[in-house]
Amino acid sequence: MSYCPKCGKEVTEDTKFCPNCGNPLSEETVSTEEVVPQENPISETVETVKKKVNKYKMNKWIVIDSIIAVVVLLLLIIIPVTTHAHKDYQLAGGTGDVNIFAV
């Protein structure tokens, strides 16, 4: 028994091309031992690209969510502080003696 060195498919001794993958066969290239089929590099590349695209999409949403969270937190901090400072300014008679850190 002979095997195609590219895909590992069993071939007859007089076969010139592998019936499975079309690889040209010669006496030097045909193996008498079973060969482990090679992975198709194109399908690996397609899967790799799909994984990278999905990872990019996920990272994009993580960045957008993070920016939204920071903006919301800043608003939650700034609005009460400025509102409180404005009330203190009005209570002080508008003299400018305002302590925005006073509770």
Domain map of the chain by residue range? 1-38
Q: The tokens of 67 are what?
A: 């920016």
Q: DSSP code of 22?
A: -
pTM, 2 dp = 0.36
3-state secondary structure of 75: helix
Please, which residues have CB within 8 angstroms of residue 40's CB and are 6 or more apart in sequence?
none
CB atoms under 10 Å from CB of 25, counted, come to 22
**pLDDT in 10s for each residue of the chain, 103 residues:** 678 878 888 888 788 888 888 888 876 655 556 556 566 666 667 788 888 888 888 888 888 999 999 999 998 888 877 777 666 666 666 555 556 666 5
Residue 44: CB atoms within 10 A of its CB come to 10
CA dist., res. 24 & res. 35, Å (int): 16
**Rounded-to-integer distance, Cα 29 and Cα 7, Å:** 12
What pLDDT is recorded for position 65?
A: 92
What is the per-residue pLDDT for 1?
A: 66
Identify the H or E element spanning 11: strand 10-11
Whether the CA torsion 68, 70, 71, 77 is positive or negative: it is positive
